[in-house]
Amino acid sequence: MELELIQKYIKEHLSEKRYNHSVGVMERSEELAKKYGADVEIAKKIGIAHDVAKEMTEEEKLKYVEKNNIEIDEIERKNTPLLHAKIGKDIAIKKFGFSENMGQAIAEHTTGNKNMDIYSKILFIADRTSKDRNFEDLEYLNSLADKGIDEAVLYILDKKIGLQIKKGALIHLNGIIARNYLLENR
Ligand SMILES: [Fe+2]
Ligand SMILES: [Fe+2]
């Protein structure tokens, strides 16, 4: 599906706040794609679509995964906001015609994963640094991004995992796997 049509769908199906976030992530994805030499159109499509399932209720999400045979783990079942990533991938593939790899970037955007491709890393960073977010470390993060995309991803993983610890919340193993993988392949 064309970028404009995906954007229209997002605008029509999400709240104004979430739509504005999605546009912010799309714009940030564009900048990052240019910076790292990735395909701008693909990065923008992933950015605008990434939270397509974010506003489903818990019940709707659990119904969706069951109906569409999406495998989920214990932590996702207990922490259902995480599910918007896997469901978002499924919707993006079925409704927007995303490739498996483009969908995978959406599936990984909340936790990270081992072996993330360039689009997955771009989305991961863009989601944290879009202009609708007041990320206090933005300048520092941008300096890391200049050193290399993995440094920026690692920094965000540390922040996210640290936040879960502070909140006393469950940590999804993929975040730890992603962090170990990046550290080992530094
Ligand atoms: Fe999200
Ligand atoms: Fe997001």
C-alpha triplet 11, 16, 20: angle, nearest 5°: 80
Report the pLDDT value the prediction gives residue 67, as an integer from 0 to 100.
98
Report the pLDDT value the prediction gives residue 142, as an integer from 0 to 100.
82
Distance 51 CA to ligand 2 centre (A): 5
Report the pLDDT value the prediction gives residue 24, as an integer from 0 to 100.
97
Domains of the chain: 3-184 (1.10.3210.10)
The answer, yes or no, to whether residue 38 has pLDDT greater than 80, is: yes
Distance 85 CA to ligand 2 centre (A): 9
C-alpha triplet 111, 86, 21: angle, nearest 5°: 70
Place of tokens 């995303």: 98
Assign 133 a pLDDT band (cuts: 50, 70, 90). confident
Q: Take residue 4 and report the two structure tokens written for it.
A: 């404009």
Q: Take residue 183 and report the two structure tokens written for it.
A: 């550290």
Distance 128 CA to ligand 2 centre (A): 8
Distance 178 CA to ligand 1 centre (A): 17
Q: How many C-beta neighbours within 10 Å does residue 155 have? A: 17
Note the ligand closest to the C-alpha atom of 127.
Answer: 2
Q: What is the pLDDT of residues 49-103, one digit of tens each?
A: 999 999 999 999 999 999 999 999 999 999 999 999 999 999 999 999 999 999 9
